[in-house]
Each structure stands twice: as C-alpha cells, then as structure tokens.
Structure 1
C-alpha cells in the first residue's frame, strides 16, 4: 500500500439528515470511508472510517426518524455542522475527490466552500454504466447482487446510518475504480444518469432499444432529467449515434 505521504485518497461520504431540502432541513450525521490507490495500481479501502453526529438545530420529523432512527436527545449536545464539515470533507492527505451514492443529495449540504471545490463521483450513476445488468441500483441492492469482496456484513449495518452506508458504498467505488479510471467516473458523474431500463409506464423494465419510436418520443419531454437524457441518447442511437448502455462482446465484434 502507498505511504501516507504519497497517498491518493477518495473519501466516500454519507449523510443522514432531517429531510431532503436544505436549508429547511439539516445534517444529523456524517460518515466516511476512504479508498486509496496502492503501489500495485489497485484501489483498496483505507483506514477505519468513522461517523460524527451533528446537531441539526431543528426538530427531527418522525418520517425521517423512521428511516435512520436517530433520536433528538442523541444530537442535542452534538457539534454544529459548520464545526465538523470541513475537517471531514477536506482531509489530509488531500483527497483526489469525494464520492457518494446519489451524490447530488450530499452535494446539497456539502457546498464547494466546505469541500474546497472538490470533484464528486456519483456511484449510482457509475453503477448504471458499469453494471447495467443489476436488478436495481440502490446501495443495498448492489451490495447483495454484487457481493463485493471483503465486505464485512455486520460492519455494513444498520442500513441508513452514515458510516455503514459509506462503508458499503466504498466497496462499490473500489471496484469501479479497478474497472474504469477516475476521470471516466467523474465524467459519468457530471452527466445525468443513463438508465439501463425504462422505469415507468407500460414498458417498465424493458431495455430502451425495445420500445417503439412513438413511446420514446414521449420520454424526450419527461420532467425527470435522467429519463429525458437516456431517451435522448437512445434517440441519437437510432439515428446512428451509438449504443445506450454497456456494449456486449458480441456487439463489439459486429
């Protein structure tokens, strides 16, 4: 493994919050797990990771307590977000990037000011590019479908707590980095999600190339940017612009 002085680290972040829309909602807990490039050129988990509870400065709605089970009395004496965020988000040795599953959510709370302008890898978007055959792309579906090597089951529990979720995501990120370059993951992460299958309507579950032209045209105006982007890519493919999803060996030969 690389020495600390030459470490190249990507820090995986997970947040638990009072809701999904800041500034009305705030952070309750931040968890992290590092992934580091070794001397052998392979990426591996690095260090023990950790988590810090955060005082959100407001009540925790029951609907979100039912997800993460963090009690108001547990965070009443916890530090404020601005007192802990930067030390976690911008660690030494300086990280190459931050990562999260559905990173758009974390980025709402982890502003460029707090991250020192870090790049972000979205493991949800990258999973759809690299592993389109997965039955789903949530952190936990990927966990049980892929069964990442070295993932300690108990250490990844309970679900919907900051450190266990970051720990699971870090295994996905490690394997992604060992399949594709960081530059490629960042490129995918900066685009809308490329959905392997239609996820709503009568054609739900079909691959995009299976649906009729008229149906595809309806998706071109969809309000969801991921659906709209995927439909646009399939539309371009039908006009000779490439393939939506991962090319199979058979298709590459053709």
Structure 2
C-alpha cells in the first residue's frame, strides 16, 4: 500500500435503517520507519444527521440525542471527509467490519479494501475466551492505549481508537495481505458457539457432529466446521466450500 496507512472506522447509528449513521469516528494506524506499525495521532469524529429520529434503545447505548445531530450534515456529505482522507487510505478497518461496510459503500470509500479485526482476532488469538472490541481491550491490555481516550465506549472515536490498538498488534504479528485475506472469509471460530457442543474445540468433535455443523445456518459455524473436516482430509464428503465473502458489501 503506497501510503502505508490503514484508517480504522467506527459508526454509531440511529437504529435499524439504510442511511441512518449518526456518528463516524476514525483512527489511523501507520507503518513507521522502524518497520513496525503504530497508532498515529490522526483521529477524530463527526456527528451526522441520520435523517430520522434516533430510537430510544439506540440512544441508551451511545447517548447521542436527536438534538445533538439536528444541525449536523448528512452522511453523504460527511463520508468522504472520514473515509477518504487527504493523502489517502486505501485500506479501511473495523471491528466486525460487515456492519460498517453496509454504510461505507464502494462509491463512498473509493473502492478501499477492508480488514475485519474481529475475524483476525479469531485467527491470531484463538485462546482468548471472547472477542468483542472491549473484551479484547481488557483481556490483552494493548501497550500504549490511554484509558481515557478509549472512553466513553460505544462512541465512534473512542471505539475506533481501541480497535486501532488491536489492529496495530495484528499488523505487527501478520502481514497486511494476510489480514486482508482472512477478512474476506467467514470467521474461523475457535470453539462451537452454541448448541449441545457449545464451548468445545472443533478437534474434539466426531465426524458426524462436524458434518451436521458444516450445514448450519450460521456462515461462521459452517466455515469453521468445514475447515476442520478439510484438516482431517474429509474433503470428499463435505458440501462445497462457500466462496469467500465479498470485500465490499
């Protein structure tokens, strides 16, 4: 990547809708001359008019009120400022990036590629019990994370700031291209998330259980079960693997 900058994005929304962003925050992660990736000083946020009332349930999470965004610009005006900074960032990142990609469409991002830090955390730190943005923060305690800058949780800039520290550590463990590749596939879950085998590692399951889970409705469960079957060499009896998820939803 020419500019060696990944911009971490976090969105807050008004609830369930198509164009209902009410806040966008960002934090850059850059490659330094020392060959390591670092959390940059460049961060910020914009309030956005969602074009409709914010639901009380959502307001109770991020505490952004209708009156806070009444005079804010709309998403299509704000998006280029946050998603296409001066100097460029042709890779964007978010925790569970599929959510951000619903709003950060290719025409708004300039066709940027995406890293999903949730999917990458599953690959790099499978021993951890949970993988939410905030749980990773307190389980791993990333070096240099200033506690106060990461608060309040569930606001766009603090959440992006926290995610950026996870991304920095990931980029210093694996290549940029590897993170991008993992992000194109469903999540490789380290354990069965629910059902009668909940909490078990895939290697603990017999073939019949894996075959059943390989046809589950959840894409991440299907993918994880099929990967274990492939590891065992049972590729002839499992359904065809799903194509990689598109990088831009």
The TM-score with structure 2 as length reference comes to 0.91
Structure 2 SS opposite 1:41: coil
Render the CA deviation track for 1:13-70: whole Å, top value 9, x for unaligned. 00001224x42x5100000000000011100011240110000010111111111111
1:13 to 2:9 alignment = yes
Aligned position for 2:247 = none
Instruction: Name the residue aligned to 2:80.
Output: 86
CA separation in 2, counterparts of 1:79 and 1:91? 17
Distance in 1 between residues matched to 2:117 and 2:94, nearest whole Å: 6
How many residue pairs get matched? 234
Q: 1:111 maps to what in 2?
A: 105
| TM-score (normalizing by structure 1) | 0.89
Matched with 1:209 is 203
Q: Please give the root-mean-square deviation of Cα atoms over the aligned residues, in Å.
A: 1.3
- 1:160 partner SS: coil
Note if contact 1:31-1:50 (Cα within 8 Å) is conserved in structure 2.
Answer: yes
Distance in 2 between residues matched to 1:136 and 1:188, nearest whole Å: 18
1:65 partnered with 2:59: yes
Shift of residue 11, structure 1, vs aligned partner? 0.3
Distance 1:113 1:36 in 2: 24
Deviation, structure 1 residue 96: 3.5
**Is residue 141 of structure 1 aligned with residue 111 of structure 2?**
no
Cα shift readout 1:166-212 (whole Å, capped 9, x = no counterpart) = 00000000000001110000000001100001000121111111122
Q: Is the 8 A contact 1:135 1:141 kept in 2?
A: no
Which segments of 5 or more consecutive residues in structure 2 lack a partner in the other structure? 236-249
What's the counterpart of residue 121 of structure 2? 127
- In 2, distance between residues paired with 1:190 and 1:68? 29
CA contact (8 A) 2:90 2:111 kept: no
In the TM superposition, residue 158 of structure 1 has moved relative to its aligned partner by 0.7
